[in-house]
Every structure is written in structure tokens, then in C-alpha cells.
Amino acid sequence: MPQLFYCLVRTWDQTSIMRSLILGLLPLIAATPALAEEIGECRFSRETLTFAGTPLEQASCLMRKIEVGAVRKPQPLPPVLVHLMTDAPPPSAAQKAAAIAAFPEPYRSYAMQYADAPVSKTEGELPLLYFVIHDTSTPFYRHDPFPRHLNEDWKVNDFTPYMDGSIAKAPVAHIFLNRVGQIWAGHEFQEAWRATKLESRVVGSPARGRMVHIETVQPRRFLPGYDDRGHTYGPKPGFTKQQYRMLAALYVYVSARAGHWLIPAQHNTVDSTIPDAHDDPQNFDLKSFGKEVEKLVKAGR
């Protein structure tokens, strides 16, 4: 629709005959939902910078299971997430404290330092709303097998490639979480940062600040018979218990700072239907995440 509008405006400048025609059309254009275009299967609105539906409906769409080849399948939300998306009170100070206590050092001290700081918001003053889970798809093993002792592997757990500019000039996400549960903050949660195509290419800067991004370390290799980055797979299980524990702690911590429960999301479901959308996170176990969130929610009651 914006393209059509552009064409019409250009024609309008060119001929007076067209001008009268266009003027006749303008009320029609205004009446059509040109700006209400929705992006992706979970229907993100450029105007409200929100996916469609209630928080529960949004989380259900955004937390669908992502299988190899970015095949998305519905799955039930854990009861704790249903509760947080519907009738739970806002995060409490005790829940925030429980989350901080779960963090390992040195991130715990860092998180304490910013515990009462505001979180990002958009340039239009909309508050932070989405907690987006990624997998790093790094290291990439091409046709080599995954390391035998994947979770303890030094190269797999090394933060250096995310820090040294070899992947991108600036850290690609707010948080990097390795397989032993260590956390490195690439950007503080105050910073409006983008890590999806929806934010960087489709909506652009107005969307920045609406989402925080968590990169969870998981290696990849080519699917048998392929040698392009569109056909890769991650190990099963995809993530470690420590990663689910820390994802839950980060979720509770940043929600508490925001003053409301963020809507959990995944990179692929945020970018669904956008060309070349990434297919991460692979092998994400929503039940395991839910169990860890539940422990912290109960601990802080």
C-alpha cells in the first residue's frame, strides 16, 4: 500500500487531469487501512508497535515451536506464562531480588547496579514490551560434527566472537548467555537496540526500544546434503538447564524493571514471513523455560 500511495503522489505532481482523479481518490485512500498494515503471522502493527491480540494471544503466537526450516507449530503455553499474561499482579521487588540472586557474578553485580534504572522505550514513548529469545547459531561447524562435550566446550562457550567485532561492529543483542549460564551484556536494557529484521529493515528506528534481545549460545552445522546457511540445524537438546534458569532470571529481572510482565517472543516468530528471516531459536523447550520462570515467580511471592 505505501508503494501505491507513492505512485499516486508522483502522478499527482505530473498532470492536472490526474490531480482531479487523485483528489477524488484521496478520501478512499484515507479510508483504507494503509498505515494499519500488519507484519508477519503474529500481525505486528506499525502504528501501535504491538502484535495482534491480547498478551496471551500474542505470547501464544510468538512462542510457537520453531522446527528445522523455520516450520512453526502451535504449542501450549506453560500455566505460569498464561498466568503472567492474564491475571498476575505486576512483578514484585521480591521477584526482582530472586532473579538477581540467581545470576552468576560478575553479571549479578552489574544487574544490581542497574536494578532501579529505567528500561528502553521507543522514540514515540511506547514502553518496552517484548522479551525476544534468540540462539546464536555460533560457533558454526559446517560439515564437522558438534563437539562431544558440547556444553563444557571452551570454544562453544567463549564470548570473544560476540565481543570482538568479528560478527558485527556492535554486539548484536542486549545479552549473550552461554551454555554454562554465564552472561555478558552487550547493551544495557536501557538502550533501545534492534536485533530483528522487523526492527532494522521493515519498521526501522520507530520500533527500537520495544524489544529486548537475548542471544542464547547454541552451535549449528549444515543439514546433511546442504551447504548454505539457510539449511542448518542445532543440537538436541538445544539448550542447557543453566540457560533456561538464566533466561528465566533475565525475563523476571527485566520485566520487574519495566514494571510489567514482558511478552515472551522468539526471533523467528517476530520476523515470520519477512524474506530471509532467521530460524532461531532452534530446539527451544518452552516447558523448561516455564518451569524456571515459575520457580522465580513463586520465590518472590
CB of 269 to Zn ion, least distance (A): 11
CA distance 150 to 8: 57
* Residues in binding contact with Zn ion, number by CB under 5 A: 4
Beta bridge partners of 67: 71
CB of 22 or CB of 167, closer to Zn ion: 167
Q: Is 220 in the site for Zn ion (CB under 5 A)?
A: no
Side-chain half-sphere of 59: how many Cα atoms within 13 Å?
22
Residue 221 binding Zn ion, by CB under 5 A: no
| Residue 213 interacting with Zn ion (CB under 5 A) | no
In the bound state with Zn ion, the residue whose beta carbon lies nearer, of 35 and 68, is: 68
- Residues 230-269: x/- map of binding to Zn ion (CB under 5 A)? -------------------------------------x--
- CA-based nearest residue to 135, from 245, 269, 234: 234
**Residue 75 CB, nearest distance to Zn ion (Å)?**
19
Q: Is 199 in the site for Zn ion (CB under 5 A)?
A: no
Site string for Zn ion, 118-157 (x = CB under 5 A): ----------------x-----------------------
Contact letters for Zn ion, residues 262-291 (x by CB under 5 A) = -----x----------x-x-----------
When the beta carbons of 69 and 259 are compared against Zn ion, the nearer one is 69
Enumerate binding residues for Zn ion (CB under 5 A). Answer: 134, 267, 278, 280
